[in-house]
Amino acid sequence: MAGEFMPAVLDAPSGPLTVPAIVPGPINVSVVVPTLNERENIREFLDAVNRVLHTVIPGAYEIIVVDDDSPDRTWELAAASAAAIPALRVVRRRSERGLASAVIRGWQVSRGTVIGTINADFQHPPELLGPMISALEDADVVVASRYVKGGSVGNWRWYRRITSNAAQALGTLLLPQVFNRITDPLSGCYLARRGCIAGVELKPLGYKTLMEIVVRGRVARIRECPYKMRDRERGRSKAGMRQTLQYLGHLWRLRKAAR
Ligand SMILES: Nc1nc2c(ncn2[C@@H]2O[C@H](COP(=O)(O)OP(=O)(O)O)[C@@H](O)[C@H]2O)c(=O)[nH]1
Ligand SMILES: [Mg+2]
């Protein structure tokens, strides 16, 4: 590839899933985008997120893709976007798998005083990051929620709604201190002040990170921003039975930790 611009692709950190404290610098917000086989979405998605962040906080953000060594080489395509998006960094993780730990690995290499995450499949509208950043002014955590006024789950089929409602009901039963504080604790899009979790060892299992932060972190004020969840138009969902079982295990683990 002589002469071709190919930015460095970083390795993922290893060891405990603890996000370090930092000396505040020029970066205010670090948005982690976890990916697994998102080749069909990633370039357009990174452009969209970059456009939004550049408008609201120019020069004060970074976007970190954490790709689990996707067979479709999402990491490579993402890295090619870095030529046009200087705020972009790409981690190719080969040593571990799973959505929740990927997000935390991204925060470990991040430099923002605010950390956050959003999915790469456009199911969370990238424009939402603007109001979420504003809402953080008087909050520690800002959650993109489908269940506050103005939000919706979109075109979900009946079985998807039932599964989601069951997951929510079980969460309320096992982890009321989280599920009674947030309307959408299973949201995959939120921002948090780094101080909420700096130095705290996180121990997620599977897909969900927000409830991990609320139980183990130091979170006083939570705000929610409504959004209408979009359908996935390209690529495929990676959620399945394994993730459902991991969710149950994760709830149980957090219940014990919260006692
Ligand atoms: N790094 C990493 N990302 C993942 C993994 N599983 C899913 N993702 C990403 O996490 C986001 C949400 O996943 P998705 O499959 O759309 O879940 P769903 O929205 O619940 O159906 C997308 O950006 C995926 O590419 C994983 O095991 N590792
Ligand atoms: Mg999705």
259: pLDDT strictly greater than 80: no
d(CA 163, CA 65): 29
> pLDDT, tens digit, for every residue of 73-130?
999 999 999 999 999 999 999 999 999 999 999 999 999 999 999 999 999 999 999 9
Could you tell me if 10 and 91 are in contact, meaning their C-beta atoms sit under 8 angstroms apart?
A: yes
| Pocket perturbation via mutation, ligand 1, pick of 35, 73, 164 by most ligand atoms within 8 A of CB | 35
> pLDDT, tens digit, for every residue of 162-189?
999 999 999 999 999 999 999 999 999 9
Closest Cα to atom 20 of ligand 1: 239
pLDDT at 155 (0 to 100): 87
Among residues 103, 91, 113, 93, the alpha carbon closest in space to that of 29 is found at 113
What spacing in Å lies between the alpha carbon of 141 and ligand 2's midpoint? 22
What spacing in Å lies between the alpha carbon of 45 and ligand 1's midpoint? 14
d(CA 144, CA 228): 9
Q: Is the pTM value of this prediction over 0.85?
A: yes
**Ligand 1 pocket residue status of 100, Cβ below 6 Å:** no
Q: Return the structure tokens found at 189.
A: 């899009």
pLDDT at 238 (0 to 100): 95
247: pLDDT strictly greater than 80: yes
Q: What are phi and psi of 166, to 5 degrees?
A: -65, -45
DSSP string, the chain: -TT------EEPP-SSEEPPP----S--EEEEEEESS-TTTHHHHHHHHHHHHHHHSTTSEEEEEEE---TT-HHHHHHHHTTT-TTEEEEE--S---HHHHHHHHHHH---SEEEE--TTSSS-GGGHHHHHHHGGG-SEEEEESSSTT-B--S--HHHHHHHHHHHHHHHHH-HHHHTT-S-TT-S-EEEEGGGTTTPEE---SS--HHHHHHHS----EEEEE-BPPPP-SS-----HHHHHHHHHHHHHHHHHH-
**Ligand 1 pocket residue status of 120, Cβ below 6 Å:** yes
Q: Return the structure tokens found at 228.
A: 């209408």
d(CA 243, CA 17): 19
d(CA 133, CA 190): 10
pLDDT at 4 (0 to 100): 57
**Ligand 1 pocket residue status of 119, Cβ below 6 Å:** yes
